[in-house]
Amino acid sequence: MLHFELNNGIKIPALGFGTYKASREAVELAVEAGYRYFDTAEFYGNEAMLGEVLNGSGRPRDEFMIASKLWKANLGYESTLTAFNRTLENLGTDYLDVYLIHWPRPDLVRQDWKELDRETWRAMEELYHQGKIRALGLSNFLPHHAENIVACCEVKPSVAQLEFHPGYTQTFALNYYRAKNIQVQAWSPTARGRILDDVLIRELAAKYRVSAVQLCLRFCVQEGVMPLPKASSLERLRENLECLNFELSAEDMMRMENMPPIGWGGEHPDRERVKIV
């Protein structure tokens, strides 16, 4: 499979499987379809299930890459170490390939999030040096959150996860991470379907004779962003992998980069959640 290389030399597949709300059967089918990178989080409540499927697959641990995330209620040095050990136990493994801070602040009230994030990072750096995490990452960090860590860290973040899809590319954050050589990953790379009926998406999907989902995933890959789609049937899982086998023209990429905003999920690290109906 096509790979991206992280800033610490680790290679990751160009596309991974997102496990939020994924059933056990979907994860089993993802392994069967050839997915080798699995994105979870303690918050998803499915680390144990994911571990059972991967450990029970009969394949060696190092054939898979597992990423999990520290929930925002657990920011801080000691609580990070405790939550990390719980995550390892849930997954039935002794290391993680990627560990990310899920959100940069516990809530909108507490003002000490910068100190909390730096303390969290210090704990993650220790785990990295102990060989328990192969790459460190941030999730839902905008440049002003990331810079708080990047400016003073010993181990640089290797991965940054953002909501990213045609119509919501967070260009300012994307360019920041590109300049720092930090690999961006796309969560909700199809906006959970909210953008699939858009006129431009439909036009370009027809032009390339691909599905609208494949078009969105290909857009991510060609932006140098790793998509993490979740899907439940073998047919869809395979269809999504096929995005690695065609190419969009520079002009069509530009059309999607510059389409009007569409499909935002309603979450922002510094704002109250907006309910999108």
Ligand X SMILES: NC(=O)c1ccc[n+]([C@@H]2O[C@H](COP(=O)([O-])OP(=O)(O)OC[C@H]3O[C@@H](n4cnc5c(N)ncnc54)[C@H](OP(=O)(O)O)[C@@H]3O)[C@@H](O)[C@H]2O)c1
CB of 80 to ligand X, least distance (A): 17
Stretch that binds ligand X, among 51-59, 88-96, 144-152, 229-237 (CB under 6 A): 229-237
CB of 124 to ligand X, least distance (A): 16
With 0-12 CB in 10 A as exposed, 13-18 as middle and 19+ as buried, what is 179? Answer: exposed
Stretch that binds ligand X, among 27-35, 82-90, 226-234, 253-261 (CB under 6 A): 226-234
CB of 115 to ligand X, least distance (A): 22
CB of 56 to ligand X, least distance (A): 21
- The closest alpha carbon to 73, from 118, 106, 116, belongs to 106
Task: Mark residues 141-170: x for contact with ligand X by CB under 6 A, - for none.
Answer: --------------------x---------
d(CA 188, CA 263): 10
| Interface residue with ligand X, options 14, 195, 220, 228 (CB under 6 A) | 228
Residues touching ligand X, count (CB under 6 A): 25
| Interface residue with ligand X, options 104, 166, 229, 263 (CB under 6 A) | 229
CB of 216 to ligand X, least distance (A): 8
Residue with token string 């390339």: 208
Task: Mark residues 238-257: x for contact with ligand X by CB under 6 A, - for none.
Answer: -xx-----------------
Pairing state of beta strands 11-13 and 3-5? antiparallel
With 0-12 CB in 10 A as exposed, 13-18 as middle and 19+ as buried, what is 273? Answer: exposed
| Interface residue with ligand X, options 193, 203, 245, 276 (CB under 6 A) | 193
With 0-12 CB in 10 A as exposed, 13-18 as middle and 19+ as buried, what is 209? Answer: exposed
CB of 186 to ligand X, least distance (A): 8
User: Is 37 a residue of the active site?
Assistant: no
Contact between 139 and ligand X (CB under 6 A)? yes
Contact between 45 and ligand X (CB under 6 A)? no
Q: Is 222 left (phi over 0), alpha (psi -120 to 50) or beta?
A: alpha
**CA quadruple 201, 207, 213, 214: dihedral positive or negative?**
negative
CB contact set of 113 (below 8 Å; sequence gap of 6+)? 75, 104, 105, 106, 145
Among residues 20, 35, 37, 44, which one is catalytic?
A: 44
Contact between 90 and ligand X (CB under 6 A)? no
Contact between 39 and ligand X (CB under 6 A)? yes
3-state secondary structure of 76: coil
Q: 170 near 261, Cβ under 8 Å?
A: no
Contact between 236 and ligand X (CB under 6 A)? yes
Which residues are marked as active site?
44
Binding stretches for ligand X (CB under 6 A)? 18-20, 39, 139-140, 161, 187-193, 211, 213, 228-233, 236, 239-240
